């Protein structure tokens, strides 16, 4: 991956989107890895009895998608990500396709760090925003 430099970033630039296909296998693996064994992540009969159409994603799964998108965009350095925040708006189910999106909304130098602020959101395959508003702050190196 090629590093992205502070001088090459402009307010209004889009962040390269990241698409994720959600399936029940990944949902189950994630909920197991995070010690969140609640039945609403894997038991279709149980969630239907609760009034939901299908098992739904553990919301924590979505934050790493956003982190991956901005870290990849920044050139692959996980240390570049200084802050990440977001708000859930809707459920995500197995079979959904998610597209993480973002744009640059500010850039500044503070305490000798070149900081870039991003607006972030995630849309499902129906075009609905399922996560947002969100944001991230990244520290990018200078070319100099």
CATH number for the domain harbouring residue 85? 3.10.129.10
For residue 133, cis peptide bond before it (omega within 30 degrees of 0): yes
- Note the pLDDT of residue 36: 77
Contacts within 8 Å (CB) and 24+ apart, 126-133 = 128/90, 129/89, 129/90, 130/62, 130/88, 130/89, 130/90, 130/91, 130/92, 130/98, 131/62, 131/66, 131/86, 131/87, 131/88, 131/89, 131/90, 132/86, 132/87, 132/89, 133/86, 133/87
Is residue 88 a part of any domain in this protein?
yes
- Note the pLDDT of residue 89: 92
- Note the pLDDT of residue 19: 98
- Note the pLDDT of residue 65: 95
- Note the pLDDT of residue 4: 93
- Note the pLDDT of residue 31: 79
| Structural domain containing residue 88 | 6-21+58-139
Structurally, how many domains does the chain consist of?
1
What is the per-residue pLDDT across 34-49, written as a single tens digit (0 to 9) for each?
A: 787 788 887 889 989 9
- Note the pLDDT of residue 26: 84
CB 58 within 8 A of CB 42: no
Global pTM value: 0.90
- Low-confidence spans in the chain with pLDDT less than 50: none
Is residue 50 a part of any domain in this protein?
no
């Amino acid at each position: 991956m090629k590093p992205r430099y502070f001088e090459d970033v402009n307010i209004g630039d889009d962040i390269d989107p990241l698409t994720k296909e959600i399936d029940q296998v990944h949902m189950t693996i994630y909920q197991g890895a995070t010690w969140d064994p609640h039945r609403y992540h894997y038991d279709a009969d149980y969630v239907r009895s609760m009034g939901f159409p299908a098992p739904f994603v553990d919301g924590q799964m979505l934050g790493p998608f956003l982190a991956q998108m901005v870290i990849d965009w920044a050139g692959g350095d996980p240390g570049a990500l200084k802050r990440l925040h977001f708000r859930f708006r809707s459920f995500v189910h197995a079979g959904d396709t998610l597209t993480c999106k973002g744009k640059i909304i500010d850039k500044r130098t503070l305490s000798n760090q070149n900081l870039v602020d991003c607006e972030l959101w995630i849309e499902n395959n129906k075009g609905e925003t399922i996560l947002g508003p969100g944001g991230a702050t990244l520290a990018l190196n200078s070319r100099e």
